[in-house]
Amino acid sequence: MDILLGSLLIQALNAIQYGLLLFLIASGLTLIFGVMGVINIAHGSFYMMGAYFAFTITGLTGNFFVAVLLGAILSVIIGALLEWALFKHLYKRDHLEQVLLSYGLILIFEELRSIFVGDEVHSIDVPAWLNFSIPLGDIMSYPFYRLFMSGVCVLVAIGMYILINRTRIGSMIRAGATNSGMAEVLGVNISMVNRLVFSLGVGLAAFAGMINAPASAVAPGMGMEVLIVSFVVVVIGGIGSVWGALFAAMVIAFADTFGSVFFPSVAGMLTYIIMAMVLLWRPEGIFKR
Amino acid sequence: MRRKFSLRLLAATALTFTSVGAYAADDVKVGLMLPYSGTFAELGQNITNGFKLAIDQKGGKIAGRTIEYVELDDESAPAKANENANKLIRRDNVDVLVGTVHSGVALTMARVAKNTGALMIIPNAGANELTGALCSPNIFRASFSNWQAGYAVGALMAQKHKTAVSLAWNYAAGDEQTAGFKEAFEAGGGKVLKHLSLPFPNTEFQPLLTEIATLQPDAVYAFVAGAAQVKLTKDYEASGLKDKIPLYGAFLTEGTLEAQGSSAQGMLTALHYADGLDNPKNQAFIEAYKKAHGETPDVFAVQGYDSAQLFIAGLEAVNGDTSKKEDMIRAMENAKLDSPRGPLSFSKSHNPVMNMYIREARGDQNVMVGIAVEALADPSPDCKR
C-alpha cells in the first residue's frame, strides 16, 4: 500500500478511537447539564476516579474486567450519593455556585487520591489476550487494544441510544431535559430522573477512565486534561445534545489528530479556533435543541 | 487565681520572645520554598531530604552556626510565588532561598532574588532563563538547564544515528530541551527530519507515532514528563516501533520505570545522574540516605544534597559570617564539589558544569553505561552581566 495513503488511514483510525473516548466523557457532561442544568466541572475527577478504581481493583483481583465491572458499579453508587448529598441542592442555584461546589470536589478528589493511592504515576497492563498488535504496512502495527476500546465505546453509545430513545426511563429523561416542570406535572418523578442521569454521567466518565487506563497512565491531574477538551466538545455540540457530543467529539478528534501531524505549530490552538468559529456561527452549538 | 495565671502567661510570652530573638541572631536560616503538596510533592520532599542530609552530616552546624529551616509549600503555583518568596526574604529574613521544582515559580523567585539581592539556590527547575537572561551574581543553580539535558541526548544520538525525528510538548521546557538536542545532533553530523509537537499536557501520541512510522527516521528524540512518559513508551512499544526505531530522551525513564514496565527496558537516556553511579561519594551518599529515609535516593535528592553542599562551601569560606555576602558568592562560584553525580563546578552564569551520563534502563534502574558529554557547561548566551 502507498505509504502516505496507509498512514492517512491509520490516522483516521487514531482519530475515531480518540473521538469515541471523548464522546463517552462529554456525553455524561452534556446529559447532566441538559437535564439538570448543572455545570459540573468535577466531571474530569470522575474520569480520574474510574482510572484509579481500575488500577486499585486490578491490583487486588488481578483481573482487569472484574475491576471495570466493580469500578462501574462503585462509580454509579458514588454518583448517586453525590447527587443526593450535594448536587440536588444546586439545581435552582446559579451557575457560579455550581462551579464553586464542583471545583471544591476536584480538590477533594485529588486529595483523596493522594491519601489513598499516592502521587506516583501508575499504569495497568493490557489484559494478556488483548495485548497484541495488528501489523499495518512495513513498519507500523496497530495496537489491538485500541480497536477493542473503540468497539466497547461504540457498544456503550448504542446502549445509551437505546436507553434514551427506546425505554420508558429514556422518555422520562427526554421529558426532563425538554421541560422539567411540565414533566413533573405529568407525573414524572423528576428527582428520580435527576439522580439516575447524574449517576449515569458519573458512570460514563469513570468508565472512560477505566477503559483508557491500560492504554494510558494512571496519574495525578489526569482529570483536568480531559475536562477542558470535553467542555469544548459540549460547547461545540450544543449543551444537552448527545448527538452533538458525538459529532463534536469526532470533529475535535480529527482536528487534533491531523492538526498535530500537518500543522504542529497551531495544533494546540486548533481546538479553540474551531470552538470560536462554531460559536460565531451558532452561539448555542451545532446541535442546539 | 486569674491574676496569677495572667502573670505566668505574660512571663511565658516574654520568655518565648527572648528565645526567638536569641535564635535569630545565632542561627543561619534556610528558606525551603518547595512543593510539599500536589503533583510535585514527592520531588519537593526528596530535595528537602537531600538538603538536610548534607547539613546533618556536618552535625547540623556549619562554621559553628546552627542551621534552621523555614519550610514553605509553594504549591507549584506561579501566582503565589511572588508573595511567598517575599515572605521568606523580608519577613523570615532567610539567609538563602532554596527553590524550586516548577520553572514558572522559580522564574518569579529569581526575579525577587534579583531585586532584593537575596542569595538563591535552585535545586531543580530547568528553565534556561534562570541562568540565562535572568542570571545574577546571587543566583545559583545546582540542578541542570533544559538546554544541557537536550544537548546531552543529541550528542548521544549523533554517535549512533544519521537522521532523527523530535517529539516534544509545545511549551518552554519542551522547546528548550529540543533546541539543545537539535544543536548537538546536527553538530554531530545528524539531521532532524521533522519536529513533532503536541500541546502541553496532551498525551494523545498515536497520530505522532503514525507519522514517525511514515517518516522512518533512524531514531526518535522525545521530551514529555511524568505520566506522559509512561504513556509514550507504552504506546511506542504497542505500535511496534520500539525494536525498529530506537527512542531516546533525557528524563524519559526517570522515576517512572516501574509503571513503564517492558516498554522502557533497554532504552538509552542521557542525564547528569545515574542510579547507583559508581563513585565513592555516591556509594556513601546512597548508604546515608537509605539509613535516614529507608529508600534509595533519586536525582532530585542528589540535587537537594548538592544545593546544600554549595551553600556549605559559601558559608565555610566566610566562617559563618553571612554578612560577607560577596565573599560567600565568590567561594560558591569557585566551589569544586564532590557530588554523588561526580565532579561538579559552576559556569560563569552559575549553572552546573558536570558530566552527562548515558544510562540504560534495566529493571527498575537507569544504569550508567557511558558518558555522553564530559563536563558539559551551558554557554548561557543570554547571561549578560
Cα–Cα distance measured from residue B218 to residue B182, given in angstroms and rounded to the nearest whole number: 15
pLDDT digits (tens, 9 = 90+) for B92-127: 999 999 999 999 999 999 999 999 999 999 999 999
Measure A275 CA to nearest chain B CA, in Å.
16
Average pLDDT on A228-242 reads 91
Q: How far is A257 from chain B (nearest CA, A)?
A: 6
CATH 3.40.50.2300: which residues of chain B?
Answer: 28-144+276-350, 147-271
Rounding to the nearest 10 degrees, give the CA dihedral for residues B261, B263, B269, B272. -20
Amino acid type, A178: T
Would you say residue A243 lies in a domain?
no
Average pLDDT (B166-170) is 94
Confidence of residue A91 (pLDDT cuts 50, 70, 90): confident
Any idea which of A140-144, A258-262, B5-9, B133-137 has the lowest mean pLDDT? Answer: B5-9
In this prediction, residues A159-166 reach a mean pLDDT of: 90
In this prediction, residue A225 carries a pLDDT of 85
Interface-testing mutation among A11, A140, A149, A273, with chain B (most B C-beta atoms within 10 A): A140
Q: Which residue has the cell 455556585?
A: A97
Give per-residue pLDDT as tens, A166-220: 999 898 888 887 787 888 888 888 889 999 999 999 999 999 999 999 988 898 8
User: What is the domain range of residue A21?
Assistant: 1-220
| Rounded-to-integer distance, Cα B185 and Cα B251, Å | 17
Distance, in Å, from the CA atom of B376 to the CA atom of A204, rounded to the nearest integer, reads 51
Q: How many CA atoms lie within 13 A of A72 on its CB side?
A: 12
Topology adopted by domain B147-271 = Rossmann fold (3.40.50)
Widest CA span of chain A, in angstroms? 64
d(CA A215, CA A232): 23
Note whether residue A228 is domain-resident.
no
Q: Which residues of B have a CB under 8 Å from any CB of A? A: 37-39, 41-42, 170, 195-204, 206-211, 213-214, 216, 226-231, 234-235, 238-241, 244-245, 255-256, 259-261
Question: Among positive and negative, which fits the CA dihedral A69, A71, A77, A79?
Answer: negative
| CATH T-level fold of B28-144+276-350 | Rossmann fold (3.40.50)
The 3 state secondary structure assigned to chain B is CHHHHHHHHHHHHHHHHHHHHHHHHHCEEEEEEECCCCCCHHHHHHHHHHHHHHHHCCCCEECCEEEEEEEEECCCCHHHHHHHHHHHHHHCCCCEEECCCCHHHHHHHHHHHHHHCCCEEECCCCCHHHHCCCCCCCEEECCCCHHHHHHHHHHHHHCCCCEEEEEEECCHHHHHHHHHHHHHHHHCCCEEEEEEEECCCCCCCHHHHHHHHHHCCCEEEEECCCHHHHHHHHHHHHCCCCCCCCEEECCCCCCCHHHHHHHHCCCEEEECCCECCCCHHHHHHHHHHHHHHCCCCCHHHHHHHHHHHHHHHHHHHCCCCCCCHHHHHHHHHCCCEEECCEEEEECCCCCEEEEEEEEEEECCEEEEEEEEEEEECCCCCCCCC
Query: What's the N-to-C CA distance of chain A in angstroms?
Result: 44
Q: What is the pLDDT of residues B245-282, one digit of tens each?
A: 999 999 999 989 999 999 999 999 999 999 989 999 99
Does residue B22 surpass a pLDDT of 50? Answer: no
Q: Inform me whether the pLDDT recorded for B3 exceeds 70.
A: no
More confident residue, B331 or A261: B331
List phi, psi (to 5°) of A221.
80, 0
Structural domain total, chain A: 1
Q: Is the pTM of this model over 0.80?
A: yes
Take residue B123 and report the three cell numbers written for it.
535545586
Q: Would you state the pLDDT for residue B226?
A: 86
B299, B273 Cβ separation under 8 angstroms: yes
Q: Which of A73, A49, A62 is nearest to A213 (CA)?
A: A49
C-alpha span between A125 and B261 (Å, rounded): 9
Q: What is the pLDDT of residue A162?
A: 93
| A39, amino acid identity | I
CB nearest A264 (choices: B197, B201, B241): B197
Q: What are the pLDDT digits (tens) for B206-234?
A: 999 999 998 999 999 999 998 899 999 99
pLDDT of residue B122: 98
CB contact under 8 A, B239 and A7: no
* pLDDT at B325 exceeding the cut of 80: yes
In a domain, A19, yes or no: yes
CB contact under 8 A, A7 and B211: yes
B38-82: per-residue pLDDT in tens? 778 889 999 999 999 999 999 999 999 999 999 999 999 999 999
Identify from A123, A256, A271 which residue to disrupt to test chain B contact, counting B C-beta atoms within 10 A and taking the largest count: A123
Q: Is residue A227 part of a domain?
A: no
With cut-offs at 50, 70 and 90, classify the pLDDT of residue B20: very low
- Single out the residue of B30, B258, B252 nearest to residue B123, CA to CA: B30
Residue A232 lies in a domain: no
Tell me the mean pLDDT in the region B287-306: 96
Residue in B with minimal Cα distance to A4:
B214
Interface test with B, best of A17, A260, A270, A273 (most B CBs within 10 A): A260
Q: Please report which confidence band the pLDDT of residue A136 belongs to, taking 50, 70 and 90 as the band edges.
A: confident
